[in-house]
Amino acid sequence: MLLSIIFLGGITLLVLIIESNWASANNRPGLELLERNISNPAEACPQNEQYTVVQPCHPCTDFEIKSKSVQICAKTHYKEGIKCLKSNHVIYQSCTKVAWLEEKRFWVFEFLMGTSSLLSTCVVILRQRILDHRLMRKVQRQLANSV
């Protein structure tokens, strides 16, 4: 049973790694629009001007959040910088997800769950050995008393 659990855990990790590589941000068109707080990033630049992402989505500092000096940090606590190519303006907008931070949180969660499952397995095995040992002593005592 333990081998099957380890096997399934290994397959799960393999699938997650493969899926992570296949589902990179470059292969998923439209994901950037889903992650942004505004529906169309071109709205931030005048007249449907072309734009580039200068700073990827990253967490706001505690000072920016608490002081509300940057209004976009009040909504989601994340911001990204967009540069309009023609007008050369840099605009910050709110965004909802930081890919590397979400991935880090996921792997921390996976590690904690794996650790807790291994710990639980060890406790169950130890408890079973203790119960087996008690049962053997009880049977030996009964056999010794009956002889």
Cα distances from 29 to residues 51, 112, 113, 128, in angstroms, run 16, 32, 32, 53
pLDDT of residue 38: 44
**Which residue did the predictor score with more confidence, 47 or 1?**
1
Residue-wise pLDDT for 125-139, tens only, equals 999 999 999 999 999
Q: Reduce the DSSP state of residue 133 to 3 states and report it.
A: helix
Kindly state the average pLDDT of the residues 94-117.
89
Tell whether the model's pLDDT for residue 39 goes beyond 60. no
pLDDT of residue 44: 62
pLDDT of residue 50: 83
pTM, full prediction: 0.47
Tell whether the model's pLDDT for residue 33 goes beyond 60. no
Kindly state the average pLDDT of the residues 84-110.
86
Q: Which amino acid is at 118?
A: L
